[in-house]
């Protein structure tokens, strides 16, 4: 592998491509689906909120809504089968997410289980439903939406952070297995984006982006053939630096910035 060649087949011509965005009823997923539609892709949008999906389809002719709950493996498999019966799938973006701020002195295991089911297990159900077909067709791209909260343990991230760390690790392992088969795999690690998911954050979110800005960064990252797509760099590069800090320094810093 050449030192600076793209890690994935770059995706820049979206005309006639079919993209399945799971978690597309609002926020980053919806904005990315809208941009891809504008670039000529046939976009299939999934989430639970049927009304939001239908409104998207109304506003984006040629797109398709497949309502589902990602915690329901049977529903995910049925949706994937319906989609794959229509033709090849070029890109799948797993963007469904659940977030509640949580600390160890108020641990809520049912809600932690919910994080695991929506953020991680749902991704496995989608992968299980589409991978055999993608491997057989020998092309296609899987993109998982993680978070910089998966880099290291962060304040209030007791339930959310571990699920995002799991997605980052999953994407790396998937890459090792699927790149030799001709498939692309990417992990998207956003900083703060103004969406319903972050609306209840009581602190000032640094370097906050709009969903449209996040979508542009994602589409550009896919166009570069990047493995990790992280943004905005003015925030995420600092978060990446935390990964290499010795634990003592990291804990001291994290305590100081804890909201």
Q: In Å, how far are 9, 49, 52, 257 from 23, measured between CA atoms?
A: 24, 10, 11, 30
Indicate the residue among 84 and 197 with the shorter CB distance to ligand NAP: 197
CB contact set of 153 (below 8 Å; sequence gap of 6+)? 161, 254
Q: Quick check: is 94 catalytic? A: no
CB of 46 to ligand NAP, least distance (A): 7
Please name which of 132, 27, 139, 151 lies closest in space to residue 91, comparing C-alpha atoms. 139
Q: Which residues contact 31 (CB under 8 A, 6 or more apart)?
A: 210, 211, 212, 214, 215
Residue 102 binding ligand NAP, by CB under 6 A:
no
Among residues 8 and 25, whose Cβ is nearest to ligand NAP?
A: 25
* Residue 21 found at the interface with ligand NAP (CB under 6 A): no
First-to-last alpha carbon distance for the chain, in angstroms, is: 43
- The residue among 14 and 192 lying less far from ligand NAP, judged by its C-beta, is 192
Kindly name the residue from 125, 151, 160, 175 that is annotated as catalytic.
160
Nearest CB to ligand NAP, comparing residues 23 and 184:
23
Q: Which of 34, 44, 64, 97 binds ligand NAP (CB under 6 A)?
A: 97
Figure out which of the listed residues 11, 36, 91, 95 binds ligand NAP, where binding follows CB under 6 A: 95
Per-residue interface string for the shown chain with ligand NAP, residues 109-148, x marking contact by CB under 6 A: ---------x--------------------------x-x-
- Long-range pairs, 71-74, Cβ under 8 A, ≥24: 71/117, 71/118, 71/121, 71/122, 73/125, 73/128
Under rule CB under 6 A, which residues in 25-84 are in contact with ligand NAP? 25-29, 47-49, 69-71
Q: Could you say whether residue 24 binds ligand NAP (CB under 6 A)?
A: yes
- Tally Cβ neighbours within 10 Å of residue 188: 26
Q: Would you name the residues annotated as active-site residues?
A: 160
């Amino acid at each position: 592998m050449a030192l600076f060649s793209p890690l994935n087949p770059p995706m820049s011509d979206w005309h006639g491509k079919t993209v399945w965005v799971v978690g597309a009823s609002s926020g980053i997923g919806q904005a990315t689906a809208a941009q891809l539609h504008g670039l000529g892709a046939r976009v299939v949008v999934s989430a639970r909120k049927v009304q939001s999906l239908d409104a998207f389809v109304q506003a984006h002719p040629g797109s398709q809504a497949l309502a589902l709950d990602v915690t329901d493996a049977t529903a995910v498999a049925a949706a994937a089968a319906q989609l794959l019966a229509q033709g090849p799938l070029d890109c799948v973006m797993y963007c469904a997410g659940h977030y509640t701020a949580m600390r160890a002195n108020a641990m809520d295991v049912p809600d932690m289980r919910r994080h695991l089911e929506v953020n991680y297990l749902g991704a496995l159900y989608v992968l299980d439903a589409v991978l055999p077909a993608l491997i057989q067709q020998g092309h296609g791209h899987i993109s998982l939406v993680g978070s910089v909260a998966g880099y290291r343990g962060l304040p209030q991230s007791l339930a959310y952070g571990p699920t995002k760390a799991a997605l980052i690790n999953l994407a790396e392992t998937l890459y090792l297995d699927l790149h030799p088969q001709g498939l692309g795999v990417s992990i998207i690690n956003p900083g703060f984006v103004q969406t319903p998911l972050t609306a209840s954050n009581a602190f000032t979110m640094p370097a906050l982006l709009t969903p449209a800005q996040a979508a542009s960064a994602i589409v550009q990252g896919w166009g570069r053939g990047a493995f990790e797509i992280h943004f905005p760099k003015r925030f995420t590069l600092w978060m990446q630096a935390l990964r290499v800090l010795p634990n003592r320094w990291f804990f001291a810093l994290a305590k100081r910035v804890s909201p």
